[in-house]
Structure 1
């Protein structure tokens, strides 16, 4: 059975995929399948996708099925720029108010709930909706958006809307990085396709390094064609994201899961298993 590779349809994970030799990989019979995070999470759990940059929360829910690619993630030490709460009032005034949640991501939704309950000490009402800035705020006091939806919402710069960056709020309260997505592989796929997975790990690691080395210049040229905006914005955005998965990242993830478990957002604490590879120099 060929390897199915999930590819998140957001720019934040692009450095891990930008320089992949997709034609070479596809010649093995593998397929790249673009998905929004929530759908990728579901299809990975069902076994329809073997490898993908899934949300950290989705990994936590099914960690027994997955192994992590080492030193690859989508994380920040502070602002992320693409996971934003837009509110008609100050955040501490949202107790008992209504917040519309994006249907596109589990990690960000739980992160918001943890921040509001653990750090701000409030309990709003939530409703999950298809991400649409105007529709969400027309019937709610605040809304959570991620990815390009959040970025374009931020570009509006509306004077009567408060904008809160969840990465910044997390770091201010924990002094730890927040990891939003991890590169996970299903354990049953490792048994079938270990050599190809090793090749993908090497190429993703090299892609991360190459995009960082040239300041994301070539990649940003591509992003400008597909998403618009200004080069300076995208340069600042990508420079703010960290693509490693160090011991400190794992410490931050464990803190996130501990708080999610404390407030009953997850049923058990996950186990962390890494993909064992034989090739050297990674």
Structure 2
């Protein structure tokens, strides 16, 4: 019996179009759901064979190859990566970061430093459902939770919008990767076909997610078709490279990293 391909995925709505069709291969694919920050360690320890990982972790590691043509990105507002602040943004002195997302934490530091010229004290935050209890001026919230937190009473920054306004480029939050030395025949086609099949089923996915998250089907469909993008094209690669340059300049990633694509 052929060995199953073990694939690590995030549990958020934004990844559902990428993995929806993978559920149709229970005999050959095993899915493991985890928050973004934990998947790189699982891949490093060979607990999984491929994973959606935070883009910052790709540059920090140096051991992965990117699956071509696929990513989780945004062009302007993303809706699901937001800073909620009790004080005007320019007055932020302390910020609590959602520790489940490495890329969004790095993006927060880049946006606050480069665009707002701020270097607040950062702490970690993991009580996603009640940001009012955070002992900080501002809180970073990601994923499905960010879409459910009310803006009322807070100054907010949509980090996808802030990045686009600052750079004019899309922002890439996560990419599919495998280890550079791994050989998984057909993995590129498998994941690309899954993405294309998921996008064909996006209206069904929006209905499913609206029931799970208690959001309207219209909002979920808008999010999956407009806020989030899934093609890793030339502009997305430019955005990824720009993110790396800013991250490296702030000491958030080592120098000398390059984008390498998987060829199987």
Range into which the TM-score falls when normalised by the shorter chain: over 0.9
Higher helix share goes to which structure? 1
Which of 105, 113, 119 lines up with 1:117 in the alignment?
Answer: 113
Runs of 5+ in structure 1 lacking a partner? 278-282
Per mean C-alpha deviation after superposition, the further-off stretch among 136-145 and 4-13 is 136-145
How many residues matched? 261
CA shift for structure 1 position 199: 4.7
1:166 aligns with 2:141: no
The structure-2 alpha-carbon separation of the partners of 1:50 and 1:157, relative to structure 1 and needing over 3 Å to count, comes to: same
Map of 2:10 onto structure 1: 8
Distance 2:220 2:39 in 1: 25
Which of 220, 236, 240 lines up with 2:206 in the alignment?
Answer: 220
Cα deviation code 1:21-49 (max 9, x no counterpart): x343x323x41111111111221233322
CA shift for structure 1 position 128: 0.8
Which of 174, 185, 189 lines up with 1:194 in the alignment?
Answer: 185
Distance 1:4 1:81 in 2: 30
TM-score, with normalisation over the residues of structure 2?
0.92
Per mean C-alpha deviation after superposition, the further-off stretch among 67-76 and 41-50 is 41-50
- Other structure's SS at 2:177 match: strand
Distance 2:67 2:205 in 1: 22
Per mean C-alpha deviation after superposition, the further-off stretch among 142-151 and 223-232 is 223-232
CA shift for structure 1 position 3: 2.5
- Other structure's SS at 1:157 match: coil
Cα deviation code 1:233-253 (max 9, x no counterpart): 112211221111011111111
CA shift for structure 1 position 182: 0.6
Are the equivalent residues in 2 in contact too, given 1:100–1:136 (CA < 8 A)? Answer: no
Map of 1:204 onto structure 2: 194
